[in-house]
Amino acid sequence: MNQAVVTAADGAAVEALAAQVRGGVIRPADAGYDDARAVWNWSIDRRPAVIVRCTGPADVITALAFARTHVLQVAVRGAGHNVTGSAVCDAGLVVDLSAMKGIHVDPAKRTVRVEPGLTWAEVTQELEAFGLAAAGGYVSTTGVGGLTLGGGLGWLVRKHGLSCDNLVSADVVTADGRYLRASATEHPDLFWALRGGGGNFGVVTSFEFRVHPLSTVLAGLVIHPVSRAHEVLRLFRELTSEAPDELTCGAILFHAPPAPFIPAEAHGAPVIAVGGVYAGPPEDGEKAVAALRAFGPPVADIFQPMPFSAAQTMADPLWPRGHQYWKSSFLTGLPDDAIDVVVEHFASVPSPMTPVLVDHNGGGAIARVPAEETAFGHRNWTFNLLLSSIWSDAADSASNVAWTRRFMTAMQPYAADAQYVNYVGAESDERPADLFGSSYDRLVAVKDRYDPGNVFNLYHNIPPSTGVQ
Ligand SMILES: Cc1cc2nc3c(=O)[nH]c(=O)nc-3n(C[C@H](O)[C@H](O)[C@H](O)COP(=O)(O)OP(=O)(O)OC[C@H]3O[C@@H](n4cnc5c(N)ncnc54)[C@H](O)[C@@H]3O)c2cc1C
């Protein structure tokens, strides 16, 4: 299964497919092929046989039927952000959802139904007109689909939970072409698996989320020179130990971009910042971040009341496109020794494009959801470490990969046996139990029911119990 046995399924069959789908297809010889196969991670260079630009569930059903008939590997593409490059495949068929950008807000019910090609920036913009916000990511460029199916960590995680915790229902096309609604009452086993089990179970053609009243938030960054990184990380540890649920924040080591709010002499310099969003009355937020803002003097302090849409984009410049190699782990704690390792390794980071993030998602709404309610298996860790190496020249790949590995090896004494599935690359040492926690066996049972042939096998795979790869 899943081995391509046709070369672009021969011209005539692809022509027939193109005539059947509303969104059209892109083949290797077509203009736009290279753009359509490019993903966020420049290290991924895959050449699909055919890319189906889906406009709705009917196109998805047709695309999957074509892949079944021609025994083609299937990749599913949302916004193409996943560092593993699971959105594209060699010689197979891409179910490209990126043009599906429908959105419908129900202000009375406080829900929004979104199609899977939307990014969080687009969802946030639409909701803002209604004084509502969704629990999306820390970065606005990410796709709704992959982020939600893997969990979804973002600025509202401590107040409103993971993105997947806010999922009310999902419309899904399964591997055999059925079109199902998954919710608490319809296919509840599938609904459970979609909330943390990633892209292993079917193609979600629309997501319905619960959304929350929110407009102006207190948000921003306090930036210090990296020479004060030990102190700032200790301050961050202290601040987060008492943080109200409204406050979600993270500590980031990076090289200061030439932003107008950063003094010119600091442009390009290594810095550390604590960034956060207070999702409540800004005046209460002032109290919650007072200790953070009193520490100084900072290079820059840009905490201020702002629309949530502005807060949602403030970290975007720190995670640009480029070659990417990511390692990540939840931490068992953030003792001084761990802080030493973080600061020491950041000092030798080979690429100035690389941010190192320690985010705080402990306690609050994420921890209040019972472990068995969703497939997301890691609710009780306080801190998560993300080493997101980013560089622009392929010639620098070896040094960046080696640095990232060295760094994560040094962090092992403080690393939990738990990784956030959306933050890790495809590594041979990846263990399903670390990615999916105690949900793994139940996820296999759901996989047996909805995708026994393992059609959806590119995302961190949960093979069915038959072992089909
Ligand atoms: C710059 C950047 C910032 C990020 N920031 C955050 C963040 O703040 N918080 C966070 O939690 N994560 C973050 N991530 C990680 C992100 O959650 C994952 O990369 C996620 O997989 C991206 O989803 P996508 O739809 O954009 O990507 P894609 O690469 O298009 O999708 C990844 C995989 O998810 C599955 N998938 C996607 N959509 C569907 C669908 N509709 N139906 C079925 N399967 C689907 C498929 O298997 C697909 O291959 C970030 C990643 C990047 C590169």
Helix, strand, coil fractions of the chain, as percent rounded to 5: 35, 25, 45
Q: Which of 422, 435, 454 to mutate to test the pocket of ligand 1 (most atoms within 8 A of CB)?
A: 422
Rounded distance between C-alpha atoms, residue 271 and residue 260, angstroms: 16
Rounded distance between C-alpha atoms, residue 214 and residue 38, angstroms: 35
Domain with CATH 3.30.465.10 in the chain: 103-213+440-450
Does the domain at residues 103-213+440-450 carry the CATH identifier 1.20.1260.10?
no
Two tokens, residue 346: 């950041």
Largest CA distance in the chain: 69
- Classify domain 216-423 at the CATH topology level: Vanillyl-alcohol Oxidase; Chain A, domain 3 (3.40.462)
Residue type at position 117: G
Helix (H) or strand (E) holding 391: strand 383-391
Q: Which atom of ligand 1 is nearest to the CA of 86?
A: 49
Rounded distance between C-alpha atoms, residue 467 and residue 249, angstroms: 41
Between the CA of 304 and the centroid of ligand 1 the distance, in Å, is 29
Domain with CATH 3.40.462.20 in the chain: 216-423
pLDDT band at 429 (very low <50, low <70, confident <90, very high): low
Report the Cα 150 to chain-centroid distance in Å. Answer: 7
Please state which of the ranges 13-17, 225-229, 404-408, 465-469 shows the lowest mean pLDDT.
465-469
**pLDDT confidence of residue 296:** 87
pLDDT tens string 148-199: 999 999 999 999 999 999 999 999 999 999 999 999 999 999 999 999 999 9
pLDDT surpasses 80 at 16: yes
Rounded distance between C-alpha atoms, residue 259 and residue 267, angstroms: 8
Rounded distance between C-alpha atoms, residue 123 and residue 47, angstroms: 30
pLDDT surpasses 70 at 1: no
Q: Which atom of ligand 1 is nearest to the CA of 41?
A: 53
Residues in the chain: 469
Cβ atoms within 10 A of the Cβ of 395, count? 8
Q: Identify the CA nearest to 146 among candidates 81, 236, 223, 207.
A: 81
Atom 36, ligand 1: which residue's CA is nearest?
146
Q: What average pLDDT is seen over the chain?
A: 95
Q: Which atom of ligand 1 is nearest to the CA of 200?
A: 47
Asked whether 358 and 385 are in contact (CB, 8 A), the reply is: yes
Two tokens, residue 99: 């043009």
Rounded distance between C-alpha atoms, residue 308 and residue 297, angstroms: 27
pLDDT tens string 263-322: 888 899 999 999 999 999 999 999 999 999 999 899 999 999 999 999 999 999 999 999
Q: Which of 42, 147, 319, 359 to mutate to test the pocket of ligand 1 (most atoms within 8 A of CB)?
A: 147
Between the CA of 136 and the centroid of ligand 1 the distance, in Å, is 11
Report the Cα 372 to chain-centroid distance in Å. Answer: 22
- Cα-atom radius of gyration of the chain, to the nearest Å? 22
pLDDT surpasses 90 at 5: no
- Residue 253 pairs in a beta bridge with 272, 356
Using a 6 Å cutoff on CB, does residue 326 contact ligand 1?
Answer: no
The burial class, CB within 10 Å (0-12 / 13-18 / 19+), for 412 is exposed
Helix (H) or strand (E) holding 271: strand 270-278
Rounded distance between C-alpha atoms, residue 228 and residue 270, angstroms: 11
Between the CA of 444 and the centroid of ligand 1 the distance, in Å, is 21
- Classify domain 6-96 at the CATH topology level: 3.30.43
Cβ atoms within 10 A of the Cβ of 50, count? 26
Atom 43, ligand 1: which residue's CA is nearest?
203
Using a 6 Å cutoff on CB, does residue 157 contact ligand 1?
Answer: no
Using a 6 Å cutoff on CB, does residue 364 contact ligand 1?
Answer: no
Cβ atoms within 10 A of the Cβ of 187, count? 23
Between the CA of 147 and the centroid of ligand 1 the distance, in Å, is 4
Between the CA of 385 and the centroid of ligand 1 the distance, in Å, is 18
Domain with CATH 3.30.43.10 in the chain: 6-96
Q: Which of 53, 59, 149 to mutate to test the pocket of ligand 1 (most atoms within 8 A of CB)?
A: 149
Using a 6 Å cutoff on CB, does residue 252 contact ligand 1?
Answer: no
Between the CA of 142 and the centroid of ligand 1 the distance, in Å, is 6
pLDDT surpasses 80 at 323: yes
pLDDT tens string 348-402: 999 999 999 999 988 999 999 999 999 999 999 999 999 999 999 999 999 999 9
Using a 6 Å cutoff on CB, does residue 152 contact ligand 1?
Answer: yes
Which 3 state secondary structure label does DSSP give 388?
strand
pLDDT surpasses 50 at 62: yes
Using a 6 Å cutoff on CB, does residue 276 contact ligand 1?
Answer: no
Report the Cα 376 to chain-centroid distance in Å. Answer: 13
Q: Identify the CA nearest to 385 among candidates 438, 417, 342.
A: 342
